[in-house]
Amino acid sequence: MANICDNPVETAADEAATVMTTAEAVVATLIAHGLDTVYALPGVQNDLLFEALFGASNRLRTVHTRHEQGAAYMALGAALATGKPQAYAVVPGPGLLNSAAALLTAYSMNAPVLGLIGQIPDADIGRHLGHLHEIRDQAGIIRRLVDHTVLIRKPEVAARAAALALRAMRTGRPGPAVLECPIDVWGKSGPVTPQQPLPVPAKRIDRDAIRKAARRLGAAKRPLIVCGGGAQDAAPEVTALSAMLQAPVLGYRRGRGVLDSRDPLSVTLPLGRELWGETDVVLAVGTRLLIQLRQWGIDRDLAVIRVDADPEEPARLYKPAVALIGDAKPVLQKLIAELPAHNAKRPSRKAEMQERQAAWRGRLGKLAPQLAYLEAIRAELPEDGIFVDEVTQMGFVARLAFPVFKPRTFLSPGYQDNLGWGFATALGVQHARRDVPVVAISGDGGFMFTANEMATAVYHRIPLVTVVFNDGAFGNVRRIQQERFGNHLIASDLANPDFVAFANSFGAEGVRAKSPEDLRAALKRAFAHRDGPTLIEVPVPAMPSPWEFIQMPKIRGA
């Protein structure tokens, strides 16, 4: 991601220029970059943007939501599901702030989301006159949320500003960007040079570092690979390296699905921690490695090799033995080419891993209520179907035990872990990937954050299947209050609507499932219904705690 680029960008007028409005220039640039949808909620500052979107509606669809957070979460979901840039448009001030939790999540997840944010009249920015939706230092607020933001002040610079933002979103560590545009600038006309995608500068891969890494890994006795979200586009490479090194691949949350769960070398928590305790060389791909380094510990007997798009990342917490800077796919391809010259002969670890996986499955048995429902979902969700996780009892266990077969099919909200992201994000996932079934799970607490977007799902006929596990509580908080605070229950019991009637009142399918078998049958019907959304309510009692398997103690170092 490039640094803040605050200045309007100048382009030389040339003969290719055509007269158009700022809004038309931005819309044309989005189309030239392959975007096909803008998730949006309109308002007077952006009227001329919507006028341009109207004019381009056969090439760029506008999908409107019922709250700005819904628009931004949908763009995030579409970005996560496709790996491609996605855009949302909202009014300034409250519109921006309503979208901020999703923008923050996009930043934490390195997701390429472009925010198109309105502004008050250009000449009045910073004058505190009390314009509609005026907010103090909007650009400053945005700068705290994203790395790249530009205020567009005239049509001549608009196409290039959009192209630079879209390039910044794919450069280095990917991430969101924002374009602000004042109410009186969207409609201004001027000569605009059409802007094709700008090439992303190719990163030179350090050959010496590749050789060093290959030597270390080749000589390792018990190598381990740890994957984060940055490895999602390098699944074939990680799979090949895992086989060459007979190295288990640990993916938790954002790294799930990089190595197929059916491979005995594919592990999650808590077996991953046990392996972390034994390993001598770790290859960490596109992960901050925070849990491992902070929770599980590190010592001198463990050499860490980091692969990261962000040159700042590898040494942030702990100096690695080798840092390989670049996108995971090309870096790992080089490593795969170099490794055979250094690699030890390695017997298969299949039988050992199968045994250890089975032992941990046994210990996870105390989570049987959650596991039974997750098994029902896995049985009905096709291999390439997408599972959208939430901050709920079912989600916590899914992160540990839901089998994931392909990259980008298990979407979990990263380190924000923000309650309420799931339903609206999943709507964006399903909207961008109409070709596969998508299931969103949530608790009664999380679902109600964006439940209003059921109207969006119905209006745009988005066939998302949402399973709401209803325990009448912020269950996670409630259990902590019971277990750690002497049953001092406060702010954790909830009054809920009848979720089936709620869905039906929007014209959506609504069903209640009272057992894992019921859920399976309901899912089968829901996945067959492709013309609109289905909500499945599952009433559940309080669930056994998964935390002993997630917040595990140190296993290395002092």
Ligand X SMILES: Cc1ncc(C[n+]2csc(CCOP(=O)(O)OP(=O)(O)O)c2C)c(N)n1
Using the rule CB under 5 A, is 445 a contact of Mg ion? Answer: yes
In the DSSP assignment, the letter for residue 111 is: -
Closest-approach residue to ligand X (CB): 443
Binding piece for ligand X, criterion CB under 6 A, among 7-15, 88-96, 247-255, 391-399: 391-399
Angle between helices 475-484 and 393-401 (to 10 degrees): 90
Between residue 447 and residue 486, which ones bind Mg ion under the rule CB under 5 A? 471, 473, 475
State the binding partner of 476 from Mg ion, ligand X, none, CB within 5 to 8 A by kind: ligand X
Among 344, 339, 446, CA closest to 390: 446
Query: Whole-angstrom Cα distance, residue 70 to residue 98?
Result: 9
Question: DSSP 3-state assignment of 87?
Answer: strand
Burial label, 504 (beta-carbon count in 10 A; 0-12, 13-18, 19+): middle
Question: DSSP 3-state assignment of 497?
Answer: coil
Using the rule CB under 6 A, is 369 a contact of ligand X? Answer: no
Using the rule CB under 6 A, is 393 a contact of ligand X? Answer: yes
Query: Whole-angstrom Cα distance, residue 136 to residue 120?
Result: 11
Helices (H) and strands (E) in the chain, counts: 21, 20
Cβ neighbours of 49 (radius 10 Å):
27
CB 344, min distance to ligand X, A: 44
Q: Which is nearer to ligand X, 192 or 535 (CB)?
A: 535
State the binding partner of 417 from Mg ion, ligand X, none, CB within 5 to 8 A by kind: ligand X
DSSP-derived secondary structure for 115-160: EEEEES-GGGTTS----TT--TTHHHHHHHH-SEEEE--SHHHHHH
Closest-approach residue to Mg ion (CB): 443
Mark residues 437-466: x for contact with ligand X by CB under 6 A, - for none: -----xxxxx--------------------
Using the rule CB under 6 A, is 474 a contact of ligand X? Answer: yes
Q: Which is nearer to ligand X, 156 or 390 (CB)?
A: 390
Query: Whole-angstrom Cα distance, residue 91 to residue 54?
Result: 17
Binding piece for ligand X, criterion CB under 6 A, among 44-52, 188-196, 361-369, 470-478: 470-478
Using the rule CB under 5 A, is 537 a contact of Mg ion? Answer: no
Q: Which is nearer to Mg ion, 76 or 473 (CB)?
A: 473
The helix, strand and coil proportions of the chain, stated in percent and rounded to the nearest 5, come to 40, 15, 40
Among residues 443, 463, 510, 533, which is the contact residue for Mg ion, using CB under 5 A? 443
Using the rule CB under 5 A, is 444 a contact of Mg ion? Answer: yes
CB 389, min distance to ligand X, A: 12
Among residues 391, 398, 451, 523, which is the contact residue for ligand X, using CB under 6 A? 391
Q: What phi and psi values does residue 348 have, to the nearest 5 degrees?
A: -65, 140
Using the rule CB under 6 A, is 550 a contact of ligand X? Answer: no
State the binding partner of 419 from Mg ion, ligand X, none, CB within 5 to 8 A by kind: ligand X
Using the rule CB under 6 A, is 417 a contact of ligand X? Answer: yes
Between residue 477 and residue 516, which ones bind ligand X under the rule CB under 6 A? 477
Using the rule CB under 6 A, is 70 a contact of ligand X? Answer: no
Among 352, 359, 347, 339, CA closest to 281: 339
Q: CA Rg, the chain, in Å?
A: 24
Q: What phi and psi values does residue 156 have, to the nearest 5 degrees?
A: -55, -30
Q: Which is nearer to ligand X, 194 or 544 (CB)?
A: 544
Using the rule CB under 6 A, is 418 a contact of ligand X? Answer: yes
Binding piece for ligand X, criterion CB under 6 A, among 348-356, 379-387, 412-420, 547-555: 412-420
Query: Whole-angstrom Cα distance, residue 233 to residue 538?
Result: 34
- Pinpoint the alpha helices (H) of 381-534: 393-401, 422-432, 444-447, 454-459, 475-484, 499-506, 516-528
CB 543, min distance to Mg ion, A: 9
Binding piece for ligand X, criterion CB under 6 A, among 27-35, 272-280, 353-361, 415-423: 415-423
Between residue 261 and residue 320, which ones bind ligand X under the rule CB under 6 A? none
Q: Which residues bind ligand X (CB under 6 A)?
A: 391-393, 417-420, 442-446, 469, 471, 473-477
Contact residues: Mg ion, CB under 5 A:
443-445, 471, 473, 475
